[in-house]
Structure formats: structure tokens, C-alpha cells
Amino acid sequence: MHEKKKTWLTFLFEVIVLAVLFTIVQYAITVGLINQSYHINITSMCINIILAVSLNLINGFTGQLSLGHAGFMAVGAYASVIMTNNLGMPFIVGILAGCLAAGIAGFLIGVPTLRLKGDYLAIATLGFGEIIRVVLQNIDYVGGPAGMVGITRLTSWPWLYASTIVTILVIVNLINSSYGRAIISVREDEIASELMGINTTSYKVLAFVVGAMFAGLAGVLYAHFFYIIKPETFGFLKSFDIVVMVVLGGLGSTTGAVIAAIFITFLTFALQKYAAVRMIIYSLILIIVMIYRPQGVMGSKELTRKTFARIWGGKK
């Protein structure tokens, strides 16, 4: 009984921390403490967290190297803008449409490609990501190479914050369950996993679809913040950016993905003033991390309640 009460108190405490964080930023935005460039920075950070955490589900937990994450982001972005701008639907419909469209795209691409392993899968997903981009470039309805412009800014801080938390919650809850163990067992040993009665193909597809849906969500938020979307924004370089975050954070660590997403966003932001040496410093940092910590910042470990309790010197 005591244990149960303690769990509830911890939960309540966490909710309060999250609410306070939300309120502080919201207040700062309303009062004008946060200027335009910081605002952009915070938005990119949340979008990057969503992208990294969702790709980590595919690359880190399921062990399927996907290089087409930006493609799903594009599908989500375009589908939602068609809903909101072209058809005049409310933002929530755009969000749902974006996630759904990206999820369907993930399913259609996942079913044929997930039979492939390792490098072959990586190349196939890279190819599909490019196909999505080229197809968008050639559809006049969505503006072709020029993309879609004049998108209303609907991505507000509450939407961003809620989306980020929902993404993390859904993926953490999924991973810490019997379904999550099945997904991880695919990464650990596919043959042993099959022989334990797990239909590995269907779990790979499941992880791929869930990952794609959240990439779609990131696309929706991106499109409705930056006023404009172009196919080339979602090229394979964007996919690589996300892969870098996941590898830097540690494959198979959600907290690692979050930390890496925040770090890389701030790094890019901080280096903007030194445009000439920006990429050199950025690359150097990546090289140094990979030499001294090839498993990523967090490895496959997570920061959990227990870790925090240890840090604060609690008993448990």
C-alpha cells in the first residue's frame, strides 16, 4: 500500500514538473522574453525530438536500419497542409491526416522492404525516401518543386509540447511491454525470436508504421510553423540528420535520442554565427564522440526514475 502511494506521488511530481516547464515557456513566449530565433530553436528542438525518438524505435529497438525517415515526414507535412490550407479543415484534422498518411506510407514501404536485412534494407529505404520526394516534386497540386507556400502558422507551443510528450509516452509505453520485448527480441536474434512464437515480420512492420506515423506528426508541426514546405527539405540529408541524432544518443535509448536531439539543435543554433567553420566543428564533435563513445552518449541505457533517485541519494 505504501509502495503504491509512493508511485502515485512520484507520478504526480512528474506531472507537476512537466506542467511547470510548459507554463514557464508559454509565459516567456507570451510576454516576449523569447525572441523569434529562440522560438524557432525551441520548435526545431521539439520536432527533432519527435523525429529522433520515432526513428530510434525502428533503428535502435527493432534493429532495422532505415534511411528514409524524412520521406515519412514529407508525407505527413503534405497530407496535413492539403487538409488545413486547401480544404480548410481544423488543425487537429490535419494532424490526424498527416499521421495516418505517413503510417499508411510506412506500411506500404515496410511490407516489401522489411524482408531485406542490414545494408540492403538501408539502401531500399533510402531509395523509397527519394521516391517520395521525387513524386512530390512532380505533382502540380502540391506545387511541384516550388512546394506549398502560404501555410498558416498553427503550430503553437501547446501543440508542440503535447505532441512531443505524446510521442515519447507512446513509444516508451510500447517498448516497456510484452510487445516491446517482442520488438527488441527481433533485434537481438531474429531466428531465436521466430522460434519463441513471434512473427518477426509483423513486429518489424508494426515498429516501422508507428515510427512513420510520428515522423508524419513531426512533418505536420514543421509545415505549420515554417509557412512553407518544399520537397527538397525532406531529402536524404534530412534523413541522415535524424540518423546522426539516434546514433549519437545511443541506439536503443529513448532518453539518449532526446538528449542528442536537444544537443544537436542547440549546436546548430549556436554555430550559426560562425557559418564558415560550422560544419567543421559539427563534424569534429561527431567524430570525437564516435571515437571515444561508439555506443553513443547513453549506449542502450535509459535515464529512469531509479537513476534520478540514485542521483538525489534516495534509498530505492
* Residue 155 interacts with another protein (CB under 8 A): yes or no: no
Span of 74-82, 83-91, 179-187, 273-281 interacting with another protein by CB under 8 A: 179-187
Q: Which of residues 158-177 bind another protein (CB under 8 A)?
A: 169-170, 173-174, 177
* Residue 1 interacts with another protein (CB under 8 A): yes or no: no
Closer by beta carbon to another protein, 69 or else 187 = 187
Closer by beta carbon to another protein, 180 or else 249 = 180
> Which listed residue (43, 113, 185, 253) binds another protein by CB under 8 A?
185
- 51: Cβ contacts below 8 Å, ≥ 6 apart: 69, 73, 214, 215, 218, 242, 245, 261
> CA 213 to CA 265: how far, in whole Å?
22
Burial of residue 268 (CB within 10 Å: 0-12, 13-18, 19+) is middle
* Cell 509512493 sits on residue: 6
Are the C-beta atoms of residues 127 and 65 closer than 8 Å to each other? no
> Which listed residue (88, 141, 178, 311) binds another protein by CB under 8 A?
178
| C-alpha distances out from residue 228 to 5, 62, 72, 218, 224, Å | 49, 33, 17, 14, 8
> CA 61 to CA 207: how far, in whole Å?
9
Residues pairing with 229 in the sheet: 148
* Residue 197 interacts with another protein (CB under 8 A): yes or no: yes
> Which listed residue (43, 113, 200, 255) binds another protein by CB under 8 A?
200
* Residue 195 interacts with another protein (CB under 8 A): yes or no: yes
* Residue 184 interacts with another protein (CB under 8 A): yes or no: yes
* Residues near another protein, by CB under 8 A: 169-170, 173-174, 177-182, 184-185, 188-189, 191-200, 300
